[in-house]
């Protein structure tokens, strides 16, 4: 029984998009979903990659398709801005080199 539940758990992880909200609420989707859909339901929030708290520019563009097997966080814009300010104060050169002349992040 334990082996079959392990198989189901590992297989289903790859078949879902996992969205983690502030406060720990987890939303699971069994199909790819646009980041815009998540943002429309969560005003003043951004969809971000799991490493956003260490790399505050790891945010997802609204037109991005969130694919099965991936995990994302819904983070308030105010938190993102605060993290970016703190990060740019720590690493001013790193931030400047990651931005292009228009102030947008290089890819």
pLDDT by residue (tens digit) across 49-87? 999 999 999 999 999 999 999 999 999 999 999 999 998
> How many structural domains does the chain have?
1
Taking 90 as the threshold, does the pLDDT of residue 5 lie above it? no
DSSP letters, 19-87, are EEPTTS-EEEESS-EEHHHHHHHSTTEEEE-GGGGTSTT-BPPTT-EE-TT-EEEEEEHHHHHHHHHHH
Domain that holds residue 57: 16-97
Instruction: Give the confidence band of 14 by pLDDT, cuts at 50, 70, 90.
Output: confident
Residue 8 lies in a domain: no
Instruction: Give the confidence band of 101 by pLDDT, cuts at 50, 70, 90.
Output: very low
Q: What is the CATH number of the domain that holds 35?
A: 3.10.20.30
Residue 4 lies in a domain: no
Residue 1 lies in a domain: no
- The set of residues, in sequence order, having a beta carbon less than 8 Å from that of 36 and lying 6+ positions away, is 62, 63
Residue 104 lies in a domain: no
Report the DSSP pairing between strands 17-20 and 71-76: parallel
Instruction: Give the confidence band of 99 by pLDDT, cuts at 50, 70, 90.
Output: very low
Is residue 2 within a helix (H) or strand (E), and if so which, with residue range? helix 2-13
Report the DSSP pairing between strands 33-34 and 65-66: antiparallel
Residue 79 lies in a domain: yes
Residue 82 lies in a domain: yes
């Amino acid at each position: 029984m334990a082996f079959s539940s392990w198989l189901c758990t590992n297989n289903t992880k790859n078949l879902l998009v996992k969205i983690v909200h502030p406060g720990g609420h987890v939303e699971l989707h069994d199909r790819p979903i646009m980041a815009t859909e998540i943002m429309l339901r969560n005003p003043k929030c951004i969809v971000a990659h799991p490493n956003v708290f260490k790399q505050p520019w790891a945010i997802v563009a609204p037109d991005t398709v969130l694919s099965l097997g991936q995990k994302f966080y819904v983070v308030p814009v105010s938190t993102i801005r605060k993290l970016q300010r703190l990060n740019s104060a720590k690493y001013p050169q790193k931030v400047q080199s990651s931005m292009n002349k228009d102030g947008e992040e290089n890819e």
